[in-house]
Structure 1
Amino acid sequence: MNTPTSTPSLPRMAPGSCTLVGAGPGDPELLTLKALKAIQAATVLLVDDLVSDAIVAHAAPGARIVHVGKRGGCKSTPQAFIEKLMLMAVRDGERVVRLKGGDPFIFGRGGEEVEHLRAAGVQVEVINGITSGLAAVTSLGLPLTHREHAHGVVFVTGHARPGSSGTDWRALAATARDARLTLVIYMGVSGAERIQQELLTGLPASTPVAIIQNASLPTQRQALSTLDRLHATIVEQQLASPSVVVVGDVLRGVEAACGDGLLLKLA
């Protein structure tokens, strides 16, 4: 007697399974093995806007893909709605992967999502990804710290929460100068003019800066300049989000292509 065959289905974990996965800066080859396995095993993926199609392509054929875009200055899916979707899917017994660009816990609002789910009784696993700030400066062949040039690094957002005064750039400039720190500014393009003015109160005008757009992707563009020309360089080179701004002496001596084949070297 022949036994009827059943249609293969995606593997299911116990109800309440949710994983926050860092997709890295964009290049799918920069995914960790653990991130790749989680993406392949997911039955539902809630995907941020900055996650590339090449990474989403690793999802299982039967997985449900939900795009929940969030980008500064653009129309975004409300955070509360994203958290509601996550919780609903978990309660339906799905294996949920919340797929975020970069790292979930570095300006990815992963902390808010973990708090929301844990408050509802759902345990969450977090899988780290390479943050774009690291990938951006690495693409120039440079470190973020260096025994001679930078004794530490500060990751900071240039996007203030509505109703908040945001980062105290004057205090940060003084600290960066005295402690010899590299500044890595996320979401800083739109506020670059004010950031430049405030940082110049504590850092020399000749401090090297780099602006890297679409770090690690084939569409990456970068420009090198000095702090007193940060905003002007962004305008002249027509750089836009998503970009990372790096400020500090670790950039000295770097060469990089800056639009139209121009090669600029910082002494």
Structure 2
Amino acid sequence: MAETAPATVYLVGAGPGDPELLTLRAARLIGAAEVIVHDGLVSAEILALAPADAELVSVAKQRSRHSVPQDGINALIVKLALAGRSVVRLKGGDPFIFGRGGEEMEACRAAGVPVEIVPGISAAIGSAAQAQLPLTHRDAASAVSFVAGQCKGLTDQDWSGLAGAGRTLIIYMGVATAADIADKLIADGVSPGIPVAVLENGTRADMRTLRTLLADLGDMVARENVKSPALIVVGDVAAYALAQDVLLPYRDLIPSESGKRVE
């Protein structure tokens, strides 16, 4: 009896939540899927595009609590593919931007499983567009950096030069450590008066955009009860966002590094 040839694993970016932001290829793969292994941030509207007989496997992750550890996810998708079952590994945002797609790709390669990457609109790109916040702007920023804010040993991270005049810093998974992030950036020389935007539930019906100053970031996140998923955008471009302002009383006393005031 001939061995079953491994099926392909498709690492698919589901975008930030709105199903209309799926790529055509992602929508086609979901609509024809045999097995979908999906993250918790993938919306119900996107999962509803799967065939009625598709097997849906949730491997949702939450802070400090993973339903399936990453090694287990790697093993699962490889096992399914080796059994000849085509797998759509469906991830929020883009697989290669804090989506651990690189690790899953390596696991497939090591097992001799064909793998294809289908990019998605990242949370930062989608959320910023919804908030009308340009991540680059000729008058405000010509560089963009992406960092993870939930890292252990936050103070040991080298973020020097990532935020300030002419630069945009986007922090994923930073809600729980927002106060520490603000303290770190200020200690590293970033102006406490630089504009900051927090983008909560990006591109979804309940999306919320808040603006403040870096000095008040931690207090604002606590006051406004900001919940994940949310992004923190640090830089003068944050002043362009259509947002609910939650600013400090002394906002006019703390200009940003470039002198641009929050409108």
Residue from 187, 191, 195 that aligns with 1:204:
191
Q: Residue in 2 aligned with 1:73?
A: 64
Residue from 148, 163, 173 that aligns with 2:139:
148
Instruction: Write the letter of the residue equivalent to 2:186.
Output: L
Q: 1:132–1:253: structure 2 CA closer, same or farther, 3 Å change rule?
A: closer
Q: Residue in 2 aligned with 1:83?
A: 74
Q: Is the 8 A contact 1:156 1:186 kept in 2?
A: yes
Q: Residue in 1 aligned with 2:227?
A: 240
Is structure 2 residue 121 aligned with structure 1 residue 130?
Answer: yes
Residue from 49, 60, 70 that aligns with 2:51:
60
TM-score by length of 1: 0.86
Instruction: Write the letter of the residue equivalent to 1:52.
Output: S
1:258 to partner: Cα distance: 5.7
Separation in structure 2 between the aligned mates of residue 15 and residue 185 of structure 1, nearest angstrom: 38
Separation in structure 2 between the aligned mates of residue 253 and residue 19 of structure 1, nearest angstrom: 37
Instruction: Write the letter of the residue equivalent to 1:222.
Output: T
Q: How many aligned positions are there?
A: 246
Residue from 30, 33, 40 that aligns with 2:21:
30
Separation in structure 2 between the aligned mates of residue 98 and residue 167 of structure 1, nearest angstrom: 33
Separation in structure 1 between the aligned mates of residue 59 and residue 240 of structure 2, nearest angstrom: 40
- Name the % identity: 43
Q: Residue in 1 aligned with 2:169?
A: 183
Separation in structure 1 between the aligned mates of residue 114 and residue 18 of structure 2, nearest angstrom: 29
For residues 203-229 of structure 1, the C-alpha deviation after alignment (integer angstroms, 9 at most, x for no partner) is: 111100011111000111221100000
Is structure 2 residue 194 aligned with structure 1 residue 217?
Answer: no
Q: Is the 8 A contact 2:15 2:92 kept in 1?
A: yes
Q: Is the 8 A contact 1:252 1:266 kept in 2?
A: yes
Q: Is the 8 A contact 1:26 1:101 kept in 2?
A: yes
Q: Is the 8 A contact 2:133 2:240 kept in 1?
A: no
Separation in structure 1 between the aligned mates of residue 155 and residue 218 of structure 2, nearest angstrom: 18
Q: 1:60–1:254: structure 2 CA closer, same or farther, 3 Å change rule?
A: closer
Separation in structure 2 between the aligned mates of residue 253 and residue 102 of structure 1, nearest angstrom: 23
SS in 1 for 2:99: coil
SS in 2 for 1:21: strand
1:232 to partner: Cα distance: 0.6
Separation in structure 1 between the aligned mates of residue 241 and residue 200 of structure 2, nearest angstrom: 17
Separation in structure 2 between the aligned mates of residue 203 and residue 60 of structure 1, nearest angstrom: 50
Instruction: Write the letter of the residue equivalent to 1:61.
Output: A
Q: 1:138–1:173: structure 2 CA closer, same or farther, 3 Å change rule?
A: farther
Separation in structure 2 between the aligned mates of residue 136 and residue 117 of structure 1, nearest angstrom: 31
Instruction: Write the letter of the residue equivalent to 1:30.
Output: L
Unaligned runs of 5+ in 1: 1-12, 260-264
SS in 2 for 1:36: helix
Instruction: Write the letter of the residue equivalent to 2:207.
Output: Q
Instruction: Write the letter of the residue equivalent to 2:14.
Output: A
Is structure 2 residue 116 aligned with structure 1 residue 120?
Answer: no
RMSD: 2.1
SS in 1 for 2:202: coil
Is structure 2 residue 36 aligned with structure 1 residue 50?
Answer: no
